[in-house]
Structures are given as structure tokens and as C-alpha cells.
Amino acid sequence: MHRHFEDELQQLKDRLVHMGALAEQMIDLAIRSLVERRGDRHPRVFEIEHEVNDLHIEMDERVISLIALRQPVAADLRFLIMSSKLAGELERIADQAVNICQNTAELLKQPLLKPLIDIPLMADAARRMLREGLDAFVRRDPALAQRILDEDDVVDSFKDQIFRELLTYMMSDPGTIARALSLILISRNLERVADHATNIAEEVIYLAQGRDVRHHHEEARLREPRTPP
Amino acid sequence: MHRHFEDELQQLKDRLVHMGALAEQMIDLAIRSLVERRGDRHPRVFEIEHEVNDLHIEMDERVISLIALRQPVAADLRFLIMSSKLAGELERIADQAVNICQNTAELLKQPLLKPLIDIPLMADAARRMLREGLDAFVRRDPALAQRILDEDDVVDSFKDQIFRELLTYMMSDPGTIARALSLILISRNLERVADHATNIAEEVIYLAQGRDVRHHHEEARLREPRTPP
């Protein structure tokens, strides 16, 4: 019986990792559609999103039935509730990939505004945070999770830099405003991917150390000097 | 013993409603600071956010200890897990109020761009969705929750309308770009408040009817014609 429960927890973990890999693939495809100007990649992203949504529902059902059947306590219970939250974060990351495709579809109606450099780098950073978040979860590695919290600052710097650069385009030529706005929105989508990865990292630290870092990180941010919106 | 568990569930519900009222108050204060151009309201918003963060941690602890101690099954178990998710949604709404304050602080550095009409209306709609979401949760009223899903379309229309109007300002006078962008970002903050209220409504329907509407609503949206970003 105990052995069986361990297997069930392992299965749950495997499904989450699979879900994470799908979400990462979606971000990758969405950003490649932007960089390569290939809207024909979008249907595949929407297809994977359905898969992620189905997995989210499946995960919630598994967690609820495992708690009901096994009545776990302490660490196992926390792990199960955390798994349910993680599935929610991954599903929201998948939503952001869809949003990137939608913003990209707008952009592809018009000529290229400028060669894209920072956005692909920002996407790499956000995807790395996601991958590391899942690694930290699988290995229960709070030190790795802690590093992810620091990487979030890199993503925020990209966001500010992209914003400032595009603002100069808009100011000097109003004909670029719509396209610049779409790119700014895509950088916001990536920022939210990084935020969800940060949430995953905070849950890992919470689970591993039994201390709640979830809001301390935010508080530190609020104390920092104001950056552009 | 059973009686006692009922009381504990009621307490949990009361804490969530209190948390919801705080989140609503934060949105109200943030939008009033924008409309009345009063940045001196912001410290109060940040204060309430700490309270909401503390409640979020408290809710998670309560849910975990109730599941561990009471080992509930079926409806009670779903209700507890849902409560934990709801607390997460409310905490994210509070984050959006803080973001509105930050975007407003940028705006207050410059003269008024235009009298604000749609943003306060959009904020009213989003706050109503939040309030109704909590009502639907307390009364376990899936019909009310269903109406909230429809109201989300109203908020989305506001978002599109605000975007189009501000685009015309930016196109005709580049000097307005920074301010127009801040207002667009505030409308995005409100859109996310409405999204979180929608998540709450979907959870209520899920709990009441045992069917998962969470992703069907999104799918319906994806099928709709593309609106501006």
C-alpha cells in the first residue's frame, strides 16, 4: 500500500514535468513564430494548449482523489497541494504563449519594425527560469529555487530596456506605435512567464524549508526604487 | 466534533470574504488615486497588501491543517482546496492594485492627458465581478457565477475601447505616448483583476456542479475573432 502511494506520487511528478515541457515548448514556438515571422506555427501552439488544459484538469482530479483515498499528512499533503498549484502556474504559462501568438499575429500584418534581439534573449531567460523551477521541484532543491528568484531581476531589466528602446521608436515615428506596442505587450507576456516561474520557485522553497518566502520576495521588490511601468 | 468542523469551515469562509473585501478596497483606492490625482493614497494600498499577503499565508496553513486533522472527503475536501486557490486569486488581485498605484505614480509626474471616463467604469465592472464572485462562492450559486463569465466580455470591450482611444492620442501627438502607455497598462491591470474574478467564478461552478468549465470558457474565447492586443 505504502509502495503504491509512492508510485502515485512519482506519476504525479512525471505528469507535472511533462506539462512543464509542453509549456516550455509553447513559449519556444511562439517566440520562433515572432522571430521568423511564421504565423503558421500558431495552430500547433493552440493544439498544445488544449493538451496542457486537459493535464491541468487531470492533475486536480488526481490530487483530490489521492488526498481522499490516502489521507496523507504533513510533507505528502503539502506536496500534493503544491502539485495542484504548480499545475495552475504551468497552465497560466501556456496562456501566455497563446497571448504571444495573438500579439505576434498583429505584428505579422505589418513590415518588420526592427531586428529582434532583446526579446529572444528575454524569452530564453524566462524559459530557463521555468525549466530550473521544475528541476528544483523534482530534486527538491531550494538552493536552485533561490537562484531563480535572482534571475527574475534579469528578466525585469530586459523588460525595462525593451520598453525604453521602443519608446524612442514611437516618439520619433508615430507610424511605429502599433507595432512597438505589440512588442511591448509580448515583453509583458514574457515577464508574466517569469513571474509564474518565480511562483513555482517560491513554492519549492516553501515546501523544502517549511518557511514562507512567497511574500518576502515581493516586499523586497516594493522597497526597490520605482522602474518604468 | 462534526459541529466543530462546520465552524472551522465557516471561519475559513469568513476569512476569505474579509480578504476579498480588502482586495476590493485596494482596487477602489488605487483607481481613486488615479482619478483624483492623489498619490498620497498609495501607502494605504501597500499597507493593505501586507494584510492580504498575511491572510494568504494564514489561509494556506488553515487549509493544510484542516485537511490533515479532519481528513475530509468529497465536497468538503474540494471546498478546502478551492479555498486555497481562491486565496491565491485574491492575493493576485491585490498585486494588481499595487501595479495600478505604480503606474499611477508615473502618470502623476505629468499633467493630465485627458479626463478619465472609461477606466473608472472598467474598474467598477471589474470590482463588481470580484464582489459577485465572492457572493457566488459564499452562497454556492453557480447561476451568479455564470453571469460573471458573461461580464468578463464587458471588461474586455472596455479594454479594447481604451486602447483604441489612446492610440489616437499617441498617433497625433508623440508627447502623449508615455502617459497613454501608463493608462493602457492600468487598463491591463484591471483586465487581470477581471480574469482573476473569472477564475473564482469558474471554481464556484466547478465546485457546485462537479463539471470543469475552467477551460471551456477560454476555448470559446480563442474561437472568437481577434481583437486588438
Over residues A56-83, the pLDDT tens digits come to 999 999 999 999 888 887 788 989 999 9
Chain A contact set for B102 (CB, 8 A)? 226, 229
| Cα distances (angstroms) measured from residue A45 to each of A31, A133, A195, B54 | 11, 22, 21, 37
Q: Residue B227: what are its φ and ψ, rounded to 5°?
A: -105, 165
DSSP string for residues in B139-177:
HT-HHHHHHHHHHHHHHHHHHHHHHHHHHHHHHH-GGGH
Question: Which grid cell is B68?
Answer: 490533515
Nearest to B171 among A67, A81, A174 (CB): A174
Cβ within 8 Å of residue A79, ≥6 positions away: A9, A207
State pTM to two decimals. 0.86
Chain A contact set for B53 (CB, 8 A)? 214-215, 218-219
Over residues B180-191, the pLDDT tens digits come to 999 999 999 999
DSSP string for residues in A17-47:
HHHHHHHHHHHHHHHHHHHTT-GGGHHHHHH
- With 0-12 / 13-18 / 19 or more C-beta atoms within 10 angstroms meaning exposed / middle / buried, residue B182 is buried
Which range (A23-32, A108-117, B203-212) has the least confidence?
A: B203-212
pLDDT, residue A217, reads 55
**With an 8 Å Cβ cutoff, are A81 and B81 in contact?**
yes
Q: Is the pLDDT of residue A219 over 80?
A: no
Q: Is B219's Cβ below 8 Å from some Cβ in A?
A: yes
Write the ipTM: 0.79
Averaged pLDDT for residues B46-64: 94
CA B228 to chain CA centroid, Å, is 22
- Domains of chain A, CATH where assigned: 2-223 (1.20.58.220)
The confidence band for B75, taking pLDDT boundaries of 50, 70 and 90, is confident
Task: Enumerate residues 82 to 141 of chain B having a beta carbon within 8 A of any beta carbon in chain A.
Answer: 84-85, 88, 95, 98, 102-103, 105-106
Q: Residue B50: what are its φ and ψ, rounded to 5°?
A: -60, -40
Averaged pLDDT for residues A30-48: 97
Averaged pLDDT for residues A138-156: 94
Percent of chain B surpassing pLDDT 70: 90
Helix axes B42-70, A74-107, angle to 10 degrees: 130
Spatial distance between the Cα atoms of B55 and B88, rounded to a whole number of angstroms: 10
The confidence band for A229, taking pLDDT boundaries of 50, 70 and 90, is very low
Averaged pLDDT for residues B16-36: 97
Q: Is the pLDDT of residue A145 over 90?
A: yes
Q: Is the pLDDT of residue A222 over 70?
A: no
Percent of chain A surpassing pLDDT 70: 90
Question: Which grid cell is A117?
Answer: 534581439
The confidence band for A176, taking pLDDT boundaries of 50, 70 and 90, is very high
Which range (A62-66, A67-71, A209-213, A219-223) has the least confidence?
A: A219-223
